[in-house]
């Protein structure tokens, strides 16, 4: 199998698109789970961005270490995302217990 090189810019573009989609998701969806998904999407698109840049840097003659840094970052972000997911979902569960729904717009006692 020959490696089909993927242009680094494409990866970056993809990550940007995913990030935008994720952002819109957070802003436009009312369902808690949907918001969750969008958040995860955003974080992973960031991961993709790191990978994209790592690829770019790796292509440079002395860029091996630099590339490593980016890839390392990805692992940590994954871990953090997982922790966030745990916590966030716990909060949504608590909300559900209280209100019977996880419609974010109904969480509106505190305002003005």
Partner 1 sequence: MLGNLWLIPILCLAGAAANLALGMLRANKRLVSIVGVGSVGLATVTTFIALSEYLGQARDVIRETYFTWIAAGEFVVDASFQLDQLSAIMISFVTFVGFLIHVYSIGYMHGETDRGYARYFAYLNLFMFSMLVLVLGSNLPVLFIGWEGVGLCSYLLIGYYYEQEYCATAGKKAFIVNRIGDFGFLLAIFAAFAAFGTSEFLGLREAVAVDPGGVRAAATVIGLLLFVGAIGKSAQLPLYVWLPDAMAGPTPVSALIHAATMVTAGVYMVARTNFFYQASPAAMLTVAVVGGLTAVFAATIGLAQNDIKKVLAYSTVSQLGYMFLGAGVGAFIAAIFHVVTHAFFKACLFLGSGSVIHACGGEQDMRKMGGLRKHMPITYWTFVVATLAIAGIPLFAGFVSKDEILAKVFAAGAVDLNHFGSLYTLLWVLAVAGAFMTAFYMFRAVYMTFHGEFRGGHEAEHHLHESPPSMTLPLIILGALSVVGGILIGFPGQLFHRPELNRIEHFLHPVMAPLAAAHGEVANAGQAAHGVSLPTEWVLVITSVLVAVAGWMVARNFYVGDQAFAPARRLAERFPFVHKLLLNKYWVDELYDAVVVRPFFGLARFSWKVVDVVIIDTVFVNGSAFAVELTGDFLRFLQTGNVRNYALSVALGILVLAVVLW
Partner 2 sequence: MLIPSPTDLSSIAPEIVLAVAAGVLLLVEAFLPGLRRLLAPITIVASLIAAWARFHFPLPGVVWGGLLSIDRVAAFVDLYILAAVLLTAWMSGAFLRRNDVDRGEFYSLLLLAAIGAMVMAASVDALTLFLGLELLSIPLYVLNGFLRGHAISIEAGLKYFVVGAFASAFLVYGFALMYGMAGSTRLEAMGQTVLDGGGLSPVMAIGLAMVVGGLGFKLALFPFHAWAPDVYQGGPTPVTAFLSVVPKGAALVALLRVVDGLDLLRLSPHWVTAAGIIAVASMTLGNIVAIVQRDIKRMLAYSGIAHMGYAMVAIIVAGIDGGSAVLVYLAAYTLMNVGAFAVVALLSEREDEPHLISELAGLGWTRPIAAFALTLCLVSLAGVPPLIGFTGKFVVFRAAVNHGFVWLAVLGVINSLISAFYYLRVVYVMYMQPLPRRAPVFPSERSVAAVAVVAALGVVLLGVFPMPILEAAHRAILDLVR
98 in contact with partner 1 (CB under 8 A): no
Q: Is there a contact between 32 and 95 (Cβ–Cβ < 8 Å)?
A: yes
Is residue 97 a contact partner of residue 27, using CB atoms and an 8 Å limit?
Answer: no
Place of tokens 């949504």: 92
H or E element at residue 70: helix 64-99
| 80 interacts with, out of partner 2, partner 1, none, CB within 5 to 8 A per kind | partner 2
| 83 contacts partner 1 (rule: CB under 8 A) | no
The reply to whether 94 sits near partner 1 by the rule CB under 8 A is no
Task: Give the interface with partner 1 as residue ranges (CB under 8 A).
Answer: 23, 26-28, 30, 104-105, 107-112
């Amino acid at each position: 199998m020959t490696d089909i090189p993927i242009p680094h810019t494409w990866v970056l573009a993809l990550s940007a698109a995913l990030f935008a989609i994720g952002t819109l998701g957070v802003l436009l969806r009312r369902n808690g789970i949907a918001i969750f998904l969008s958040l995860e999407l955003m974080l992973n698109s960031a991961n993709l961005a790191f990978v994209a840049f790592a690829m770019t840097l790796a292509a440079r003659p002395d860029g091996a270490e630099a590339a490593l840094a980016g890839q390392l970052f990805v692992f940590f972000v994954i871990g953090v995302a997982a922790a966030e997911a745990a916590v966030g979902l716990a909060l949504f569960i608590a909300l559900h217990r209280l209100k019977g729904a996880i419609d974010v717009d109904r969480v509106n006692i505190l305002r003005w």
